[in-house]
Structure 1
Amino acid sequence: MASIFAKKPLAVLLGEASSTGHGTLKRTLGAGNLVALGVGAIIGAGLFVRTAAAAAQASGPGVTLAFIVAAIGCVFAGLCYAEFAAMIPIAGSAYTYAYTTMGEFVAWVIGWALIMEYALGAATVSIAWSEYLNKLLEVFGTSIPYNLSHSPFEHAVVNGVTQHGFINLPALLVIVALSLLLVKGTQESAIFNAVVVVLKVAIVLVFIAVGWQFINPANHTPYLIPADQAPIGPHSYSDWNKHGWGGILGGAAIVFFAFIGFDAVSTAAQEAKNPKRDMPIGILGSLAICTVLYILFGHVLTGVASWREFADPALGGEASVAYAIRAHMPGYGWLATAVTVGILLGFTSVILVMLMGQSRVFFSMAKDGLMPKAFSELHPRFNTPYKSNLMLMVFVGLFAAFVPGSLAGDLTSFGTLLAFVLVSIGIWIMRRSDPAQPRPFRAPLSSPSFPLVPILGAGICLLLIFALDAFTLKVAFGWMFLGFIVYFLYGRNNSKLQQGIVVVPTEMDEEAFIKPDSRNL
């Protein structure tokens, strides 16, 4: 059996990327589709929920700087993703890139970590989707019964009566609907996503434009939380990452959740019409658009209402934007309802892209033998990994229906940051190991002797990992340990590379078995 750090030959990946026969994904996405895919995945709960939370807990009005710090880390990682995606336009994203640069075990670690970002993220967002659907229905004087919109592990006192959850039916139904849409086809999913993106971006722009008129400059003074700030509500500001410039870093770790998703564009590389040109545009274009919107949104929100108001637990999260509108923007109550609609739309597109991203990662892992073969089987008519989509529909749907969303915490951020770190390192390794390989897009300042962008990408994302709270880190490392067990019990024994087998696809999708290059073992 080969080393657990055996690498998948680059020639095999490039062969898979150029394959057009049966068993390959259809190339239907253009640059515009990919940008919309990125914006669809990025703008969601993070913008509407995390902005006020970061301001109240760590950054104050400096949350705009926290967005910039988080964006800088994402830009460096995004440049590395863009180079990989243009050079190796194949499904699997960070998992695939690690397989050919750092070996199978590291690839497994990334693939397992991405479950926290995509599958767990989709389930968590679907639970929040259910909560906001009820908020919207309450505007019209109705709501879904508590027992049909909450987990069996949840209860609450409603009108003096203790209510117990039974099933979160809306969360389950949105997972089922979007999974079936993904089974139908990537192009249909992309069209639906594009419509949703236009609507939710329009709502964000309206809030920025209208809210700008109500900014109170006094709310932006001081711009950073002072070191001697007294506790407000449940929040204390004595720790290094809760005030001043340290608070900017702490806030960046919180708002980083709002940037999760641009990497999901790379999971669709095998479905891009012209990946060499379109993948960098999709990844960096969506990241640039969202960064500008985030900075403006944070500036307006902390200008309309003081960050101290958001320190109230009832205001520093889900209700923050609606509260700011109703309390400080008289005459614009309708905008608070529109924001709720925007949040629902944001959640919908995020769930769609997360489910798509997870199915494509599983598709690549199954092709390599690290996951059951069913995850790589394509629909005979729609050419989508339908069994992967349907199995995810079941597992993610069960989580959404019966598990409280609070269990997920910041695990999605951990999984994403870890992938960013390893992708950034992978670019430097690839520049050293395959310097002559054609690169349609090259990350700047990333030469083998001067890998500035990869070092900054990995370094900033590592800092953000350690800025996460201790409980999140403990749970994340526990999840990774479980992944190690699964790899050694299943993945290593079924890996095609470990068995001395790699698949070289042709236009007829015939399987030719060759021994991997001994240099990669």
Structure 2
Amino acid sequence: MNTMHRKMGTFALMMTGLGSIIGSGWLFGAWKAAEIAGPAAVFSWIIGMVVILCIALSYSELGAMFPEAGGMVKYTQYSHGSFVGFLAAWANWIAIVSVIPVEAIASVQYMSSWPWDWAKWTHSLVENGMLTPKGLAIASVLILIYFFLNYWTVSLFAKANSLITIFKIIIPGATIGALLFVGFHGENFTYGHSVAPYGWSSVLTAVATSGIVFAFNGFQSPINMAGEAKKPSRSIPVAVVGSVLIATVIYTLLQVAFIGSVDPSMLVNGWHHLNFNSPFADLAIALNINWLVILLYVDAFVSPSGTGTTYTATTARMIYGMQKNGYMPGVLGKLHPIYGVPRPAMFFNLAVCFVFLFLFKGWGVLAEVISVATLISYITGPITVMTLRRTGKHLYRPLRLKGLRIIAPCGFIFASLTLYWARWPLTGQVLFIMIIGLPVYFYYQAKMKWKGFHQDFRAGIWMVVYLLSMMCISYLGSEKFGGINIIPYGWDMIIIACLSLVFYAWAVKSGFETEYLQEANKVNKEMRDRDAIMVADSKQKAAL
């Protein structure tokens, strides 16, 4: 039977989310954020958490309603049809699949600064922030390891990932403790007589470009693995929200520890000039914390590998979901009859990973691409969940969030602002990312003889206008965010917030009861029947 195996519990799903969030982001994020915003980078993580949590809560209700493999690439199609559904799915898939090579790159970059005499050969793995041919070879091997850890079974993946994630929590904890107690300089937080030496606009830019959005992107993993959850109605929201909150505590403490442990003499030219190959390991070496140095170099493989392994699993489910939506060849939707794993989809993603690896070669460049694509995929979650409350009133909702009428528009506004904070011309690359995927969409529409295309396209016009408007505002906006300063600082964000509300209302109103939603009713009904059986069993056991 061509179905996913439901074997993952709440803890395993939360470990999947946390394992995705704590990847290479913790190894580089604190340094990049401090480099952009100085000591005020601590606030960037809090702002990032608020943005992501609003988005994540919207997706949690959707994930509980439709516990499907690769759900993140399906939901918008249910509410707005194939055009917006494809754009959202494409952006989301690009954002997630590119994480796999970026994690391998992170491991190699840390490896390139090994301090031991016998490891001098590793110093030639990276040049000017880009992997050399030798570095690319090692990164390729790591990607293959991620692949084979997922090749046979979901159970193996879940067990391995839970163990890796526990290790990934211990190492950042040890790093925080060691740096705080051995070499903490409290004066660093007011160095230059300001907590925010580059202005508060830099704090906002750090949210979008330093790896914060990139790091928190892992909240999607439990949702995309919902097809394998034992009790999705309970497990998904707990796993999503829990992983985001735990990760926020870890990342904020890491940021504090990083800022405080930098030698004040390194700040003579300002935070912008901090330069590290392996940030936390370099600090540990400077403070002579040898045991921590070894742990950090070990974790430079474990943390990214855990995330790479997780994303290898989730991206395969995303391609599986896109094929079920009619966007990909039928062969990519085939599951292995014994292991229940979409192996053809895994091979396809493996090929794409190698394209990204050899095309970009550097952690920073690829992380920016991920951030842009991620933000585009985020905007559809709040719209979809509120549209379905109107067009899908009959649907069974195991989780109905109170206050979502406020949370959803706030999530849309926050995602729009964060996209703007990413700075021009990075924001302009969004259009290019969308254009790459459109030929695929039109090809499959032509194969289906443009069935329902006109209605689906009308329901998606808002997104085309929204993306063009965001790029225009980014170009004309404040110089603090890379624009030409026609729209001054402050007014730019007010304009975006107001326009976002207009686009939000337009987008929710554009949704309709699509043919895809009618098909999704089957999954929703199975969820309702399953929960009813569980309730009946619980009552029977209680009576006994």
TM bucket by the smaller chain?
Answer: 0.7 to 0.9
Partner residue, 1:420 = 378
Partner of 2:285: 326
**Distance in 1, Cα, partners of 2:434 & 2:161:** 32
1:453 Cα deviation after fit: 0.2
CA distance in 2, matches of 1:487, 1:223: 52
| Cα pair distance change 1:492/1:454, threshold 3 Å | farther
CA–CA separation in structure 1 for the residues paired with 2:360 and 2:268: 31
Q: Is the 8 A contact 1:369 1:496 kept in 2?
A: no
Please state whether the residue corresponding to 1:118 is helix, strand or coil.
helix
Aligned residue number for residue 441 of structure 2? 487
Instruction: Please state how far the C-alpha of 1:483 moved relative to its aligned partner.
Output: 1.3
Aligned-pair CA distance for 1:164: 6.5
Q: Deviations over 1:453-504 (max 9, x none)?
A: 0011111111111111323223332121121232112355349975989878
Deviates further, 394-403 or 245-254: 394-403
Who is 1:246 aligned against?
A: 201
Any residues of structure 2 matched to 1:397-412 within 5 Å, and which?
Answer: 397-400=354-357, 403-405=360-362, 407-412=365-370
Correspondence for 1:287: 244
1:133 aligns with 2:111: yes
**Kindly tell me: are residues 489 and 32 of structure 1, through their superposed partners in 2, closer, same or farther at Cα, counting changes over 3 Å?**
same
For 2:176 and 2:346, locate their aligned partners in 1 and report how far apart those are by CA, in whole Å.
37
Q: Which amino acid aligns with 1:479?
A: I
Q: State how far apart, in whole Å, the 1-side matches of 2:98 and 2:190 are.
A: 38
CA contact (8 A) 1:167 1:402 kept: no
Q: Is 2:108–2:135's contact at 8 Å kept on the other side of the alignment?
A: no
1:156, 1:129 → 2: CA distance?
13
Q: Deviations over 1:192-224 (max 9, x none)?
A: 111111112111111112222232221112699
CA distance in 2, matches of 1:88, 1:223: 52
1:314-353 equivalences under 5 Å are 315-327=274-286, 329=287, 331-353=288-310
1:142 match: secondary structure: helix
> Larger deviation: 102-111 or 215-224?
215-224
- Which stretch shifts more, 349-358 or 66-75? 349-358
Relative to structure 1, the CA distance from residue 476 to residue 430 in structure 2 (aligned partners, 3 Å threshold; closer, same or farther) is same
Question: Aligned-pair distance for 1:312?
Answer: 6.7
Structure 1 segment 356-435 matched on structure 2, within 5 A: 356-400=313-357, 403-405=360-362, 407-435=365-393
> Per-residue deviation at 1:251?
1.9
CA contact (8 A) 1:200 1:342 kept: yes
Partner Cα distance (2:39, 2:15) in 1: 29
Do the aligned partners of 2:24 and 2:303 also contact (CA within 8 Å) in 1? yes
Contact kept? 1:196, 1:346, Cα under 8 Å:
yes
Give me the whole-angstrom Cα distance separating, in 2, the residues matched to 1:164 and 1:317. Answer: 18
Match in the other structure for 1:476: 430
Secondary structure of 1:260's aligned partner: helix
Equivalent residue letter for 1:326: I
- The whole-number CA distance in structure 1 between the counterparts of 2:104 and 2:415 is 26
Report what 1:188 is aligned to. 156
Counterparts of 2:397 and 2:19 in 1: how far apart (Å)? 27
| Structure having the larger proportion of residues in helix | 2
Tell me the residue number matched to 2:417.
Answer: 463
**Which residue does the alignment assign to 2:67?**
89
1:225 Cα offset (Å) = 4.9
CA distances 1:118-157 after superposition (whole Å, capped 9, x unpaired):
2222122222222333444x5362266788x57xxx7999
Q: Is 1:109 equivalent to 2:68 in the alignment? A: no
Q: Is the 8 A contact 2:323 2:330 kept in 1?
A: yes
8 Å Cα contact 2:55-2:382 kept in structure 1: yes
Residues 314/366 of structure 1: CA separation in 2 closer, same or farther (3 Å cut)? same
Q: How far apart, CA to CA, are the structure 1 residues paired with 2:268 and 2:3?
A: 53
Are 2:373 and 2:433, in contact at CA under 8 Å, matched by a contact in 1?
no
Tell me, yes or no, if the aligned pair for 2:40 and 2:195 is still in contact at 8 Å: no
Computed over aligned residues only, the root mean square deviation of the Cα atoms, in angstroms, reads 3.0
Post-superposition CA distance 1:30-66 (Å, at most 9, x none) = 00100110111001121221212111212x2121111
- Partner residue of 1:205? 173
Unaligned runs of 5+ in 2: 454-514, 524-544
Q: How does 1:143-154 map to 2 (within 5 A)?
A: none
Contact 1:156 1:164 in 2 (8 A): no
Amino acid at match of 1:219: N
Which stretches of structure 1, 4 residues or longer, exceed 6 Å deviation after superposition? 154-157, 499-507
- For 1:217 and 1:422, how far apart are their aligned partners in 2? 42
- Partner of residue 15, structure 2: 36
In structure 2, what residue type is equivalent to 1:432? R
Question: C-alpha distance in 1, partners of 2:228/2:221?
Answer: 12
Local SS of the residue matching 1:470? coil
Q: Deviations over 1:267-318 (max 9, x none)?
A: 0010101101111111111111101111111112112225947957784454
Q: Is the 8 A contact 1:119 1:392 kept in 2?
A: yes
The C-alpha deviation readout for 1:325-353, integer Å capped at 9, x for no partner, is 233x3x41321231222222111011112
SS at match of 1:202: helix
CA distance, structure 2, for counterparts of residue 356 and residue 104 of structure 1: 25
SS of equivalent to 2:327: coil
User: What is the DSSP-based 3-state SS (H/G/I as helix, E as strand, rest coil) of the residue aligned with 1:57?
Assistant: helix
Report if aligned partners of 1:31, 1:282 keep a CA contact under 8 Å in 2: yes
Output the amino acid matched with 1:413: S
**Corresponding position: 1:304 with 2:282:** no
TM-score (norm 2): 0.77
Q: SS at the partner of 1:410?
A: helix
**Contact 2:382 2:408 survives alignment (8 Å):** yes
Percent identity, aligned pairs only, is 23
Residue in 1 that maps onto 2:50:
72
CA deviations over 1:388-421 (Å, ceiling 9, x no partner): 1122223313543565235524111122222221
Tell me if the contact between 1:217 and 1:303 (Cα under 8 Å) persists in the aligned partners.
yes
Which residue does 1:120 correspond to in 2?
98
Indicate conservation of the 8 Å contact 2:103/2:304, yes or no: yes
Give the letter for the 1:283 counterpart: V
